[in-house]
Amino acid sequence: MRRLMDGMCLLGLSAAAGAQRSEQIVSSGNPILADGRFYSTDPAPLVDGDTLWMLAGRDEAPADVNDFIMNEWQLLATQDPASGRWTHYPHVARPETVFRWAEPGRAYAGQIVKARDGRFYFYAPVVQHDSQAKDRFAIGVAVADRPVGPWIDAHPAGPIVSQRTPERNDIQNIDPSVLVDDDGRVFLYWGTFGQMRGIELARDMVTPKGAERRIDGVDGFFEAPWLMKRKGVYYMIYAANNAGPRSTCTPTLYHACIAYSTATSPLGPWVYRGVMLKPVSSTTSHPGAVEFKGKWYLAYHTADAVGGGHFRRSVALDRIEWDDSVSPARIRMVVPTRRRQPAPAVTRNVAGAAFASASNEPIPVQYWIRALNDGVVKTAPLPPDMWGNWTGDSARRSWIAYRWNRPVTVNGSRIWFFADQPAGSGTGVAPPAAWRIEYFDRGWKPVANASGYGAIPGAYQDTTFAPVTTRCLRATFEASGANGTHAGVAVQEWQVLSPRPAVPVTPGRDRTLAGCE
């Protein structure tokens, strides 16, 4: 029996000869698998009788590797999501063991559906090893008598969708979603990077029927289409990435929201309806939705497990609520939930109670100002893990600022710079040539008796100074430069320290710098 880990109690392992190995777990909330032993991603829910199944990929990237290392699929099953009791099948299938024509790895988002013949069909995006296509991702179909397999290639001749079949295309053919409609017709959607396709399949679940369709009416589509039906209306939910400072989806390019469109027929035309899930802690969230025992659920993934990250994601499940006062029914904004977290530790860092702003607002869409005081630093960050001002024509002087709703007394700073160029460079992102901390008191003034302003990237640079009481503090940077050009500046995290530790508080509603300028 293993020890209790992060609120997840392992109740035992079972593995009969020739049977799928599984373990029983009790999860205290989202993410379902949270202790960091197994990361789970790209959830695809399936209802079969009294059981809710969720197919998921498995992230296996080391903590400092920014790549999708995904070698296999896994399953979760429950009869009651509210109970927290799940059966975890950690090793369900691998691309090369199901499809002889597939390479190992890249076990990306797939879906299992139950056909009218009572068998289960698994639509899987895999890399075709003998393809001459520019992009070798292709979609295969496997069949089994049970969701746990064993899975057998239903079309051994090769994929049913690729850049060469059923017709030539130039997109990356991943993220399949399949709906078996009430009349038995079968519809397949797939796509990524803003390109969605749809097609009808024959009732054999394999043979394309008709031509591929380019799908419009899915505003901001980035990836992860999911086709479903409720009360005669078809819903297409998907990851969107129409980024911008006034976007209702996401302010930053790398993050995605979950949006949806509706149609009165399974192949459209589609009409955009809005956002149903805001960005989560991982850059992607990849939706899947299903009705189970009279309730609707949204499955998605986050970076909230122990050791989690953008490439170490974990499946979460929350309720979908509907507004039937309008037609078609509106999906209300999904409220993400999370398992109970430890009480906040006492800290001198008061940055978490501040609102951040910067001289370069609106912030370039590759960066995210909320990263400044989110409490996270990474060895290999992505652009949204930091604030930055690189545009290719960076400013000589820039600043970041914190504002508190009430005066705070502070006497220290810890800042973590990011750089991809050495000090003195005039291109890319480099450590600042100089910087200083200022406080607001009827104008911006430098803090007194500063101990020094280090600018070494990849580690906290500590500065102490004479205590000041203020509502506004800023760090002003003089950019590195050469030959008349200036490098950008980037900061992963900026902590501001009070003389005495206290329990951190959350910011109020006023997000402006009013009273600080």
**Tens-digit pLDDT profile for residues 356-366:** 999 999 999 99
Average pLDDT over residues 19-42: 93
Asked if the model's pLDDT at residue 515 lies above 70, the reply is: no
User: What is the predicted pLDDT for the residue at 511?
Assistant: 55
> Per-residue pLDDT tens for 303-328?
999 999 999 999 999 999 999 999 99
Alpha carbon distance 282, 314 (integer Å):
9
Phi, psi of 483 (to 5 degrees): 55, 40
Asked if the model's pLDDT at residue 386 lies above 50, the reply is: yes
Asked if the model's pLDDT at residue 8 lies above 60, the reply is: no
Alpha carbon distance 504, 516 (integer Å):
22
More confident residue, 10 or 395: 395
Token match 């069949």: residue?
143
Residue 96 parent element (H or E):
helix 95-98
- Kindly indicate the confidence band of residue 344, based on its pLDDT and cuts at 50, 70 and 90: confident
Alpha carbon distance 3, 464 (integer Å):
43
Residue 438 parent element (H or E):
strand 434-440
Alpha carbon distance 197, 173 (integer Å):
9
User: pLDDT > 70: what percent of the chain?
Assistant: 94
User: What is the predicted pLDDT for the residue at 124?
Assistant: 98
Yes or no: say if 222 and 194 are a contact pair by the CB < 8 Å rule: yes
Instruction: List all residues 6 or more positions away from 236 whose beta carbon is below 8 Å from its beta carbon.
Output: 189, 215, 218, 225, 226, 227, 260, 261, 262, 263, 270
Asked if the model's pLDDT at residue 2 lies above 80, the reply is: no
Average pLDDT over residues 389-412: 94
Could you tell me the two tokens for 445? 């003034």
Q: Point out the least confidently predicted range of 149-153, 427-431, 456-460, 506-510.
A: 506-510
Yes or no: say if 152 and 162 are a contact pair by the CB < 8 Å rule: no
Of 406, 403, 432, 405, the C-alpha closest to 417 is 432
Alpha carbon distance 92, 73 (integer Å):
6
Asked if the model's pLDDT at residue 15 lies above 60, the reply is: no
Average pLDDT over residues 53-63: 97
pTM (2 d.p.): 0.93
User: What is the predicted pLDDT for the residue at 268?
Assistant: 97
Q: How far is the CA of 232 from the CAs of 37, 45, 63, 205, 274, in angstroms? A: 41, 20, 45, 22, 19
User: What is the predicted pLDDT for the residue at 358?
Assistant: 97
Asked if the model's pLDDT at residue 7 lies above 50, the reply is: no
> Per-residue pLDDT tens for 64-77?
999 999 999 999 99
pLDDT, averaged across the chain: 93
Alpha carbon distance 401, 219 (integer Å):
34
User: What is the predicted pLDDT for the residue at 512?
Assistant: 57
Instruction: List all residues 6 or more positions away from 514 whose beta carbon is below 8 Å from its beta carbon.
Output: none
User: What is the predicted pLDDT for the residue at 484?
Assistant: 85
